[in-house]
Amino acid sequence: MHRCPECGKVAAEPKLRYCEQCGARMPEYKTPTAAQQVAEDERTEVGPVKPPYTGPKWLEHVPGHSPSVLGVILHLIALGLSILPSLAGLGPFWSFVMLMGGVLVVARELRATGEAHPLISWIPASFHPPYVPAVYTALAVAFVLPLLELSPLPLLWMGGTALLVRDQWDKVFAGPEGYAQLFDPRALTRGPRLLALVGVGVCVLALFFTWMPPPRMPVSYLGPPSYGPLRGQNVPRPTTDVVYGGLGQVALGGYSLPVAPTVEVALLGLLVLLMLRPEVDRPEWLRFVPAGVTVIALTWALVNLRLEVGPIAFLVGVVPLGIVAVFQALGREEFIPPLPEDRYESEEASEGGDEASEQSWPVDSADDITARDEDLPG
């Protein structure tokens, strides 16, 4: 392509010596080779060039340059590590839920930035509405507690969760149309809801304590000392595999038991439900959800009941939850009787109303009173 070096206009004839537009001298034309012609054609066929990336350096190679995509990638790495038996995990169900939720969040982020990826570009927009990243972020925050241990896994999970919260807060939570406007955290400090906050706190804390002690294998000996050295029977053999062996020889906490992540999510979801503002529309059956959560938590605790600190503390935390669940099912937000001063104020208000009603009758004038006195005999 014969182009003017001054104005950049492409010459109509490659053999022109002067530019037709500005009159500048054109460079000497050389016949391009076949490879140069193919490269030139490819450059001319390509659409508009994207502007260079000017964002943070650590997001330069992330798809969509989105912190949420990077957070989902860290979550997927943590879920991959949780396959190892020696590390904590969420179980098959919640791992699948977080995997599918992460795919939908990535598809939403790439669609918002205009990038297409063959693995997720086929997902329609109706499959990832705004509440999908909100729910995924909330679950990521809830699952920080079950994954706490001395390993790289919680660091990956907490790092990905922090990126998600930072990026999604302004997108789906904050603002007049955000989901954060539907909830009031201060509601948990008023009335019976404070009992629910204390009960859930005790239950979640109890899951960190021991629920199942290590098994104790009996050791028996044969023969009196006169028969020579003692021989042990049923002695546990030392394990040679540090990853898969000896897992049953350690104490288990509440989060290591089956269905523990589900119970924890249900308890935290109960607090989220109690934070709903009164003006938010909700179905009638929603007031029975606290009772259902309490029954599920109580049943799970009784199935795994041991004479250990964890189960006993968990049952203590379920008691205030049951009280709140009963009054929520009855449709009563408050169960505290009115204070004495409130009762006195109400009584004074009622007395004031009686006086006002008495004053509403017409008062006889002085002339009427005098006339009545004159009519009296003597």
Displacement of CA 172 from its chain's centroid (Å): 12
Residue found by looking up tokens 């109303």 in the block: 353
Q: What is the pLDDT of residues 296-334, one digit of tens each?
A: 999 999 998 888 888 999 999 999 999 999 888 887 765
Q: For 23-27, 69-73, 185-189, 190-194, which range has the lowest pLDDT when averaged over its residues?
A: 23-27
Residue found by looking up tokens 């028996």 in the block: 220
Burial group, residue 324, by CB count within 10 angstroms (0-12, 13-18, 19+):
buried
Q: So what's the pLDDT on residue 241?
A: 47
Percent of the chain with pLDDT over 70: 65
Percent of the chain with pLDDT over 90: 28
Contacts of 35 (CB under 8 A, 6+ apart): none
Provide the residue ranges of all domains of the chain, joining segments of one domain with +: 64-181, 185-214+251-330
Q: So what's the pLDDT on residue 163?
A: 93
